[in-house]
Amino acid sequence: MATVTNWIDHLSAKEVAGAVYPGVGTEGILVLIAFVLWIGWHVLAAKQESDKLSKLARKRHGPNDWKSNVTDG
């Protein structure tokens, strides 16, 4: 996985390779993982929010009911 194992060898090469992160060459897979995480987050967050809003809507609180929940700080 390590792209660099010896800085002296790396920096004294005729052409110094710029990319030094682990797993150079696997960028495509990393991007794919990022896409899956991104889409997945939206799906989960949307469901979570929808459930929360439906639950609260069913209780039909009045416009001033929240005042009884104000903490004393």
Partner 1 sequence: MTDQLGALTTVFTEFYYWITVVLMFLIHVGFCMYEVGASRYKHHQHTLMKNTMLIPLVTVTWFLFGWWIYWAFPTGPGLAPSIMNESAALITDESAFSAKWYVPNSELMAVNLGDHISGVFWAAFLLFSWTAASIVSGAVIERITTFAFGILAIAIGSCFWVIDAAWGWHFDGWMLKILGYHDAYASGVIHAVAGGFALGILAVLGPRIGKFSSSGEPRNIGPRNPWLVTVGLFLIYTGFWGFYAACNIPIFDLGPEYGMEGVTYFTATNIYVTPTTLSGITMNFLMSLSGGLLAGYLVAKGDPFWTYSSGLAGIICASAGNDLYHPIQSMIIAMIGVVVAYKLHYWVERKFKIDDAVGAVAVHGYAGVAGLIICGFVLNGYPSSGYSVGAMWVGTDYAPINPLGMFLGAIIMFVVLGFIPGWIIAKVLHGMGKLRIPREVEIAGLDYEIMEAAKDDEKSVASASR
Is 59 among the residues that bind partner 1 (CB under 8 A)? yes
Query: Cα angle vertex 52, ends 51, 57, to 5°?
Result: 100
Least distance (Å) between residue 43 CB and partner 1: 10
For residues 1 to 40, the per-residue mask of contacts with partner 1, x marking binding by CB under 8 A and - elsewhere, is ---------------xxxxxx--x--xx-xx--xx--x--
Q: Tell me, what DSSP letter sits at residue 73?
A: -
Least distance (Å) between residue 38 CB and partner 1: 5
What is the phi-psi region of residue 29: left when phi exceeds 0, alpha when psi lies from -120 to 50, beta otherwise?
A: alpha
